[in-house]
Structure 1
Amino acid sequence: MRLVRAGRRAFTGNADVLADDDHRAQVTDYFADLVRPFGAGPVTDLSGQSYGEMAKALVAEVVPAAEPVDLLVLAFSIHDVWPGRATATYLSHVCPGTPMSFAVCDQGSASPFTGLRVIGDYGVRRALLVVVEQGALPYESAAATPLAHRGVAMLYEEGAGTRATEVRQYPDVVPEAVPELARRGVAELSTGHPGARVVLSDSLAAVWPDHPDHTRVPAGQPMTGVWWHLAGASEDAVLVGDYDRDLRYLCFAVVAADQSSVD
């Protein structure tokens, strides 16, 4: 699959759905029930974004009506402010082509890489990967949240005879084992794309002392960080790498693009 169009957007304020007082009260009660057994409570003033609203805007930006999508994959990590909605199903309804759709979550920063693997394995003509994260939790927690609400959408098409997109994922990797596996992954992916721009997350660069020259993505956007840079790149090929210290996933992908279509 070859990247033919990408869009990225930062979102401010709250989701439109939070303007509904009934919805706000229902979501607050829902999360209060979920976290009560753990000794936590809901936040006093619910805020945040809905991935459905964020992704709908990105779909409208990236997918023209004349280019129907066959498969849509939504990748996210923390939940949003509409937990009762099947967001991937909703996005199928608003995306040209009414594609088969599903979400990948509970894999931390590895989720978008898994989404790319799924897209490649399905062998469809055209697929959309949407990566989203919002910077608020609806309950009390000491966990760090993203610095901003951000989303990235990437439209891929099959390319006959190309090795446009390749992925390498390594599970259960302790920090000490990262350098060796990282060198191997980058070497394998660079074989077909020797001039690819390298983009590494801050978390990966921190545990890989002899990393290659690269664009380093600052901490603060664990889900969209490397993909945000990919969406804005002007090179023909970009190699992205990320490491989730908590879940111990090490991931790499090389993405080739049709630069006549990438924004």
Structure 2
Amino acid sequence: MPAENRGLRVTRAVAAGFDGHAAAALHPDLRTFTADLARPYGLPLREDLLDAGAGHDYGEMGAALLERALPGGEPADLLILAFSSPDVRPAAPASLRLSSHCPGQPTAFAVCDQGSAAAFTALRLAAVHHRTGGCRRAVIVLAEQSALHHEAPEPVDLPAGHRAVVLVCEDAPGEGLRVHRQDQPDGARALRSVRDEHRRLGPDAGLLLSAALSAHGVPDGAEAARPGQPFTGVWTLLADRLDARRPLLVADHDRRLGLLSTLTLP
């Protein structure tokens, strides 16, 4: 008798914005660390943001959502923090702090330096880990905060606010989530690729687009994330639209890195 086909599925998603700032944003280590990073590139510090203590702590933001994401205290086997904009606690790995707040104290690490693709990489790694048999529940924490404490070397889309999303992925019968990434520097061509992929899923499949992709058009039946949250926007939309009764395609395009990423939820 053939073994039952099982996969990792996104079963829950919660999202929230955060006001104010974290105490860590006023810690002198943030100024020292940022200055060390920016000095070789001749980038001046944003003294106004450092003096005001602007910015939020990814550990605090994620911990505030974990209880909502795991209300019954279900233990997780894996926790991955993914982010694009820098944290305000550079010397303290937020993923390890989050593990201590998560039931089960799961294995934890972070994914960064991949732009918007970091969220998709985290999900792909969780699916790979699941296939080893050592992960029945994974928690993906996605976070962005709005303060960049040095001048950017080129124009960048900074978040309008501090926001975090937690995705709970669990072992389930049937096909699991699928992540696909391709090099695609052109946003309009990226959107055409997404439309083709969505069409192959059938007429009942939903399509969620990041604000970056929807700038090139919104196909009939698709929904687009609001501008202002370049990393968490489409995942906030997923938290509002997650529905196990129909397939979903989630898509984002990172213009600076020329990467198109998609997530298929069967």
TM-score, normalisation: structure 1: 0.86
Residue 248 (structure 1) aligned to one of 217, 233, 258: 258
State the partner residue of 2:150: 139
State the partner residue of 1:178: 190
Take 1:210 and 1:26, find their aligned partners in 2: how far apart are those partners?
44
Q: CA deviation at 1:240?
A: 1.2
1:111 and 2:118 aligned: yes
2:241 aligns to what SS in structure 1?
Answer: coil
State the partner residue of 2:99: 92
State the partner residue of 2:18: 11
Take 2:215 and 2:143, find their aligned partners in 1: how far apart are those partners?
24
Q: Which amino acid aligns with 2:129?
A: Y
Aligned residues: 247
Q: CA deviation at 1:253?
A: 1.1
Cα-to-partner distance string for 1:207-253 (whole Å, 9 max, x where unaligned): 4x583431111321111011001111153343211111111111111
Q: Is the 8 A contact 1:168 1:185 kept in 2?
A: no
Take 2:142 and 2:87, find their aligned partners in 1: how far apart are those partners?
13
- Unmatched runs of 5 consecutive residues or more in structure 1: 257-263
Matches within 5 A, 1:123-162: 123=130, 124-141=135-152, 142-160=155-173, 162=174
Q: Which amino acid aligns with 1:178?
A: A
State the partner residue of 1:30: 33
Q: CA deviation at 1:101?
A: 1.1
Q: Which amino acid aligns with 2:243?
A: E
State the partner residue of 2:81: 74
Q: CA deviation at 1:164?
A: 4.0
Take 1:147 and 1:210, find their aligned partners in 2: how far apart are those partners?
22
Cα-to-partner distance string for 1:100-138 (whole Å, 9 max, x where unaligned): 111111111111111111111111100011111001111
Do the aligned partners of residues 232 and 68 (structure 1) sit closer, same or farther apart at CA in structure 2, a change above 3 Å counting? same
Q: Is the 8 A contact 2:74 2:103 kept in 1?
A: yes
Q: Which amino acid aligns with 1:251?
A: S
2:228 aligns to what SS in structure 1?
Answer: coil
Q: Is the 8 A contact 1:185 1:252 kept in 2?
A: no
Q: Which amino acid aligns with 1:128?
A: V
Higher mean displacement: 80-89 or 165-174: 165-174
1:2 aligns to what SS in structure 2?
Answer: strand
1:225 and 2:228 aligned: no
Q: CA deviation at 1:187?
A: 3.5
- Unmatched runs of 5 consecutive residues or more in structure 2: 1-7
TM-score, normalisation: structure 2: 0.85
Give the CA RMSD over aligned residues. Answer: 2.0
Take 2:234 and 2:196, find their aligned partners in 1: how far apart are those partners?
20
State the partner residue of 2:212: 203
2:181 aligns to what SS in structure 1?
Answer: strand
Q: Which amino acid aligns with 2:90?
A: P
Cα-to-partner distance string for 1:59-107 (whole Å, 9 max, x where unaligned): 1221245410001111100111110011112211221111111111111
State the partner residue of 1:261: none
Q: CA deviation at 1:151?
A: 0.4
Do the aligned partners of residues 152 and 176 (structure 1) sit closer, same or farther apart at CA in structure 2, a change above 3 Å counting? closer
Take 1:159 and 1:66, find their aligned partners in 2: how far apart are those partners?
19
Extract structure 1 runs of 4+ deviating beyond 4 A: none
State the partner residue of 1:260: none
Q: CA deviation at 1:17?
A: 2.9
Do the aligned partners of residues 233 and 180 (structure 1) sit closer, same or farther apart at CA in structure 2, a change above 3 Å counting? closer
Do the aligned partners of residues 29 and 55 (structure 1) sit closer, same or farther apart at CA in structure 2, a change above 3 Å counting? same
1:140 aligns to what SS in structure 2?
Answer: coil
Counting aligned pairs with the same residue, the percent is 36
